[in-house]
Amino acid sequence: MQNQPPVQVSSQPPVQAGKSSTGLDENVAALLSYVLTWLSGLVFFVIEKDSRLVRFHAMQSLLLAVAFAVVIIALLIVSFIVGFVLSQISAVLGGLVGMLIFLLEIVVFIAAAIGWIMCMVKAYQSQYFKLPIIGNFAEKFSTK
């Protein structure tokens, strides 16, 4: 049986997260900017003056909520129009397409939930996790 090497303990204190102008740690404020979707993102974006990390995650939360709302509204409109037109041709065809669009909406909800959770985890880890397209806009708007 081999002896395990001794555990080495660092003599340096653990790294503390920086403080934001809200009085919270940066990582906690960045995480909280995702909690109430666009509302908390807007609040933290407006009140945060110092922390670039918090402003970035707050803007990304706001843009993610807006993008999600636009996609869902577009799917609902397409679903209504296509469902109405196809139901005039065939009730079965209209119902089938309606179910397919409903499944697509479920996929969008699941993808948004996964994205939201990933953003919350990365924000708590004080990482600049950029979502495709939205992340670039969030970075641009948060540095002004």
Place of tokens 């309606």: 98
User: In tens digits, what is the pLDDT along the chain, a chain of 144 residues?
Assistant: 555 544 443 344 444 568 888 899 999 999 999 999 999 999 999 999 999 999 999 999 999 999 999 999 999 998 888 888 888 888 888 888 888 988 999 999 999 999 999 999 999 999 999 999 999 999 999 987
Query: Structure tokens of 104?
Result: 């697509």
Domain that holds residue 94: 26-142
Those residues whose C-beta lies under 8 Å from the C-beta of residue 93, and which sit 6 or more positions away, are 86, 87
Q: With beta carbons less than 8 A apart as the criterion, state whether 31 and 117 touch.
A: no
Closest to 94 (Cα-Cα) out of 105, 75, 81, 103: 81
Q: Which residues contact 134 (CB under 8 A, 6 or more apart)?
A: 60, 63, 64, 67
> Within a domain: residue 6?
no
- The total number of structural domains in the chain stands at 1
4 inside domain? no
| Structural domain includes residue 128 | yes
Q: Does 2 map to a domain? A: no
Cα 59 to Cα 15, 22, 77: the distances in Å are 26, 16, 27
Residue 47 within any structural domain of the chain: yes
Predicted TM-score (pTM) of the model is: 0.81
Tell whether 57 is covered by a domain.
yes
Q: Are 129 and 119 a contacting pair, CB within 8 Å?
A: yes
